[in-house]
Amino acid sequence: MIIFVTSLDGGVGKTTLAAAMAYHAAVNKRQPVLLIDADWEKAELSQLFRAEYAPGWLSPFLRGEEPAVFKVRDGLYLVPGYDAAEAYQLYDFQISELERALEAWVEGLPAFAASRGLPPAAIIDTTPTLRLSFLTRLKEKGVRIVFVADARAIGRVSDIKAEQYASYFKLADAVVVNNTSFFARDAAPYTIRRVSTPKDLHWEAVAKAIIRNRHNRRTVEALLHKVFPAP
Amino acid sequence: MRLDIRRGIQLLTGRDPEAGRKIADLDAGEQAASAASQPAAPQPAAPPAPSSALRPATLVPAAADADAEDWRDLLVRLLSTAPEDVAQKLVGCLDREVITKALERRNDPYLKVALMLITKK
């Protein structure tokens, strides 16, 4: 089971949602999960987890190096993405190359996880605006797509943007609308209510702050039930 | 720079009996860091340190096994793991061209800059 957390715009809460889903699955539901930071623009998931610099998901394709896997908690593992973000800035990659590498992870993950004693289920945090053709290919390989949008952004989109959103919505297995207000929280199937930012910007504090809210907890549970059902 | 997809797939799907033992534990360090930062003021996430020195020692690339026959890898590994005085003596005995050749094996931007400095006249 592989879940891609993706979006059209940046800064809508993909990384936060990926961390909250992984936390709830691994810590509260005892469903082991491997998190992969495949946001080649920023690698924010690795930073949120304060993982030290180490070869990440792109290293097998970049240098033929084994990627680092960090054990965060029992049943929760992380493959960092620093080197992909670094390489994205340094080299003139074609997007199709990065897509192919990510697709190779989807294909190779069962064997990778089995030979290293890792969970077969993965939540992959991605870069915004992955191409529809790429996401379609992933869907055909059985990947579940969680599309994240921000209520403040989708409230004022142009017609063109609305069409783009519609295309991504159509492809997604679940659409999560982030940052909804109290009154708008039921406007979409999965909504995450705004919560105050924890003082400590650390993955666990952030995930707990999200889950502590009863509505958000229900949302994350329903979302996991939909895209990541217990075996 | 091009990505080598085939090599990557081979590495991901290949069997590495040592790989399971290479999983570094983020837990211990993080719990200590978390406990230390509890009463403190809000702190941003620690920035990544782009230094190979900080990489966990256990995270030896599995593919290194396949490349272990190459003399350049062996030389670099020898020099980097030998006691400093021994390494210094060895470097003193080696021709600069030999070391340059060994460093050229890796396609790494930091090494490229180091090579430029070494070969600068």
Does position B60 have pLDDT exceeding 60, yes or no? no
Give the pLDDT confidence of B18-27 residue by residue, as tens digits: 665 568 887 5
Contacts of A63 in chain B (CB under 8 A): 61, 106-108
Question: Closest-CA residue in chain B for A96?
Answer: B3
- How far apart, in whole angstroms, are the C-alpha atoms of residue A92 and residue A89? 8
DSSP A175-218: EEEEEE-TTTTTSSSEEEE--PPPSB--HHHHHHHHHHSHHHHH
Q: Which of A54, A57, A22, A67 is nearest to A37 (CA)?
A: A57
Name residue A150's amino acid: D
Number of A to B CB contacts under 8 A, please give it. 164
pLDDT band at B87 (very low <50, low <70, confident <90, very high): confident
> Looking at the partner chain, which of A53, A77, A111 has a beta carbon nearest the beta carbon of B48?
A53
Query: E strands of B1-121, at which residues?
Result: 24-25
Contacts of B33 in chain A (CB under 8 A): 50, 202
B80 contact A CB<8A: no
Q: What would the two tokens of residue A185 be? A: 């929280």
Q: Which of B69, B67, B73, B75 is nearest to B93 (CA)?
A: B75
ipTM score of complex? 0.82
Q: Say whether B14 and A115 touch across the interface (CB within 8 A).
A: yes
A120 contact B CB<8A: no
State what percent of residues in chain B have pLDDT above 70. 57
Does position A102 have pLDDT exceeding 50, yes or no? yes
Give the pLDDT confidence of B7-45 residue by residue, as tens digits: 999 999 886 656 655 688 875 445 544 444 443 333 334
